[in-house]
């Protein structure tokens, strides 16, 4: 009976380690996605500023015609 309980406890520990490892990988993947979204947001904001600064103003456009 002691062998059965010892084997079961060890197996439970291995399953718990696998669960914690899976949780860690999932958490790392989530943080990675959040970081990528943050970088993309900053690139989008910078691109909008650059494109806005390059567009001619309405006053400048009407003076040409």
Query: What's the pLDDT tens digit per position in 22-55?
Result: 999 999 999 999 999 999 999 999 999 999 998 7
pLDDT, position 60:
56
How far apart CA 13 and CA 61 sit, in angstroms, is 72
pLDDT at 2: 44
pLDDT higher than 70, residue 61: no
**Residue labelled with tokens 């309405």:** 58
- Label residue 16 by pLDDT band (50, 70, 90): confident
Give the global pTM: 0.58
Residue 12 in this model has a pLDDT that exceeds 90: no
């Amino acid at each position: 009976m002691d062998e059965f309980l010892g084997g079961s406890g060890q197996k439970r520990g291995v399953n718990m380690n696998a669960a914690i490892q899976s949780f860690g990988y999932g958490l790392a993947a989530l943080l990675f996605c959040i970081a990528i979204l943050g970088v993309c947001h900053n690139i989008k904001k910078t691109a909008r500023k650059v494109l806005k600064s390059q567009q001619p103003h309405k006053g400048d456009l009407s003076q040409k015609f």
